[in-house]
Structure 1
Amino acid sequence: MRDLNLKATEYFEAVARLGSVTKASEELGISPSAVSQQLSLLEAQLGVKLFRREKRRLVLTLDGDRLFQTTTQAFSAIRNARSAISFQRDRRNFVIRVSPSFGVRWLGPRVGAFAAENEDWNIRIDATPDFSAFDTENVDVDLRYGMGTWNGVAVVPLMHDLVLPLCSPAYLERLQAIDPDPTRQLVKARLIDSVKTLYRWDLWLAFNKIQIPKINYPLRFDRSSMSIEMAKQGGGIALDSVTLCLGELQRGELVPFSVDFDVIDFPAYWFVCPSRHLNRRILQRFSQWMTSACKSHDDMARAHLQALGCRFRPGSPTDLIDVKPWGL
């Protein structure tokens, strides 16, 4: 490759593709004589004829066609890469970090609308439970799940979480067939544990003054999305977020275990970034879009739960005893 005259090869590819030295010279921005000179140098280097002239036309020889098939693919790939790099350079990047379950179940289906309104920006979603170290990482904003008690950053409330026990209709029927009393049903039920949620079964049972002799978690997941899916498949009761599974509730794939127990209603989703980021126009746009989208979703969730007969009980960070604000 070090012996190959790349400039002459580029000129050859242009002539072969366009079928004319003149057209190739116009594309390359050089004189026709310079193109012809490079073609002669390449033929001399390879020791073969690459073109033959037929009625004022340049026609590839067998060797020329073989070289053209390879070089045109290579130079086309290079041109595409160059265009992509230039396009990427001319566009601006906006990086959002989000907890995995919220990213997959809530943000993912909606962020396309924001992208369509901001086509001059490249939007990257980084789904991870780890919070951003804004001083060392190239992240514009975090969408965090937790109690909102983070120091050194601007924290803007986005949405409450609505938590209650959920299961499939078929699983609920099986429990009701065992015992009509919801409290006694819980003793017999398979409890699905979402280990990184703020409200877990032990806390919820204590709030509702329910004693289970020996709490057993045959199913434990570190992602709410997995707990919700298991409950939907009839695997047990998940104490989890209506924010993340409103669609399943609306379609009847999940139902409240019992409307006798209040929905725990507490602030849990936050827009977090350094204060200096708040002056960025794209961040202001995204904040406004998120606020509107979250309000719309929250209104729908509350209306649906009320239609099912659910009541709401406000929660607060003081309820959360020894619980850390993990990413969902």
Structure 2
Amino acid sequence: MRDINLKATEYFEAVARLGTVTKAAAELGVSPSAVSQQIRLLEGQFGVKLFRREKRRLVLTLDGDRLFQTTAHAFGALRNARSAIGRQRDMRGLTIRVSPSFGVRWLGPRVARFAADNPDWAIRIDATPDVTSFETEAVDCDLRYGHGDWAGLTVDCLMSDLVMPMCSPAYLDRLRRQGGDLATQLESARLIDSVKSLYRWDLWLASNRIELKELVYPFRFDRSSMSIEMAKQSGGVALDSATLCLPELARGDLVPLSLACPVVEFPAYWFVCPTRHLNRRIVSRFSGWVAHEAKECEAEARALLSGLGCGFVAGRVGPEGV
């Protein structure tokens, strides 16, 4: 690119697009002689004629047309980029990072309401399990799944997770037809393991005093959304978040494995950001909105599960277990 005269190329593109030196000079804000000089320089550089004159109008030669097709595309792309950058600069933005399953199953169906109430703001959502390094990344806030132990940041609990074994009605009927107690049914069940969940099968089995001869996972997923879908399709029993699959529970696509075992609840979903970010009006507004949505969702989940006959027990989840 060092040997390409970009100024002369810009002048050439304007002349080729507008058809005359005079019109190009007016658009560029320079004199016609300056435009003509740059065209001569460019022709000298390429060693070819780029225009021929026909009845007071400049017509592209074959070489000139080849160059124009390229420059028209390049300068058009630059103008579009400049326009987009200008619009983005004028439109205020909010960037949110969210855990993938929480983003897809919980935030996704709700965020349109926030966007509708804040139409002048551009909202970007980055769904990833990686937590944000706020000192090096341009992210306003995180919606994190975890223990809540992130030092040096504002960390507000949005809601508890409500975890229980779930499966499809058809799969539950299949297990019950085999007879026996819950432990016997689990021996023959296909257990679906959500490998990144804070509360997994080994903890649940221990807390419910159920011993299996061998703890085997035919299915292991690193996304709760995949575990839930597998259970919905009668693939087995998922120990996962009722919070993330309320629609399936409400429709009866998923049912509790056993009402004898209470739903385990523990703080799991958090709003996280540097305290200084709350000085931005949109971040503070989103913080309040998402907290309200989470409170309503948790109340809805508790009411639904209670209506199904479920009880609740507090779980202590951490590196040391329950």
- Higher mean C-alpha deviation, range 232-241 or range 211-220: 211-220
For 2:150 and 2:41, locate their aligned partners in 1 and report how far apart those are by CA, in whole Å: 68
Using the TM superposition, give the Cα deviation of residue 75 of structure 1 relative to its aligned residue in structure 2, in angstroms.
1.6
Secondary structure of the structure 2 residue equivalent to 1:259: coil
CA 1:215–1:114 in 2, change beyond 3 Å: closer, same or farther? same
What residue number does 2:312 align with?
Answer: 313
For 2:48 and 2:136, locate their aligned partners in 1 and report how far apart those are by CA, in whole Å: 57
What residue number does 1:16 align with?
Answer: 16
What residue number does 1:100 align with?
Answer: 100
Identity of matched residues, %: 67
For 2:170 and 2:217, locate their aligned partners in 1 and report how far apart those are by CA, in whole Å: 20
1:147-162 to structure 2, matched below 5 A, reads 147-162=147-162
For 2:136 and 2:181, locate their aligned partners in 1 and report how far apart those are by CA, in whole Å: 54
1:245-324 to structure 2, matched below 5 A, reads 245-307=245-307, 309-317=308-316, 322-323=320-321
For 1:243 and 1:293, locate their aligned partners in 2 and report how far apart those are by CA, in whole Å: 12
Report if aligned partners of 2:203, 2:321 keep a CA contact under 8 Å in 1. Answer: no
Report if aligned partners of 1:262, 1:310 keep a CA contact under 8 Å in 2. Answer: no
Unpaired segments ≥5 residues, structure 1: none
1:44-123 to structure 2, matched below 5 A, reads 44-123=44-123
For 2:50 and 2:135, locate their aligned partners in 1 and report how far apart those are by CA, in whole Å: 58
Secondary structure of the structure 2 residue equivalent to 1:215: coil
For 2:187 and 2:67, locate their aligned partners in 1 and report how far apart those are by CA, in whole Å: 76
CA 1:153–1:74 in 2, change beyond 3 Å: closer, same or farther? closer
The residue type paired with residue 79 of structure 1 is R
Q: Which has the higher contact order (CA 8 A, sep 6+)?
A: 1
1:215-254 to structure 2, matched below 5 A, reads 215-254=215-254
CA 1:321–1:101 in 2, change beyond 3 Å: closer, same or farther? same
1:175-190 to structure 2, matched below 5 A, reads 175-179=175-179, 181-190=181-190
Using the TM superposition, give the Cα deviation of residue 93 of structure 1 relative to its aligned residue in structure 2, in angstroms.
4.7
Report if aligned partners of 1:228, 1:240 keep a CA contact under 8 Å in 2. Answer: yes
Using the TM superposition, give the Cα deviation of residue 237 of structure 1 relative to its aligned residue in structure 2, in angstroms.
0.6
Using the TM superposition, give the Cα deviation of residue 148 of structure 1 relative to its aligned residue in structure 2, in angstroms.
3.1
Using the TM superposition, give the Cα deviation of residue 47 of structure 1 relative to its aligned residue in structure 2, in angstroms.
4.3
* TM-score (normalised: structure 1): 0.84
- Higher mean C-alpha deviation, range 266-275 or range 216-225: 216-225
Report if aligned partners of 2:166, 2:254 keep a CA contact under 8 Å in 1. Answer: yes
- Higher mean C-alpha deviation, range 91-100 or range 4-13: 91-100
For 2:256 and 2:40, locate their aligned partners in 1 and report how far apart those are by CA, in whole Å: 80
1:224-269 CA-to-partner distances (Å, cap 9, x unmatched) read 2232222223221111001222233334432222333322233321
What residue number does 2:206 align with?
Answer: 206
CA 1:303–1:21 in 2, change beyond 3 Å: closer, same or farther? farther
Report if aligned partners of 2:147, 2:318 keep a CA contact under 8 Å in 1. Answer: no
Unpaired segments ≥5 residues, structure 2: none
Q: Does 1:35 align with 2:42?
A: no
For 1:290 and 1:223, locate their aligned partners in 2 and report how far apart those are by CA, in whole Å: 22
Secondary structure of the structure 2 residue equivalent to 1:95: strand
Using the TM superposition, give the Cα deviation of residue 72 of structure 1 relative to its aligned residue in structure 2, in angstroms.
0.9
Using the TM superposition, give the Cα deviation of residue 13 of structure 1 relative to its aligned residue in structure 2, in angstroms.
0.9
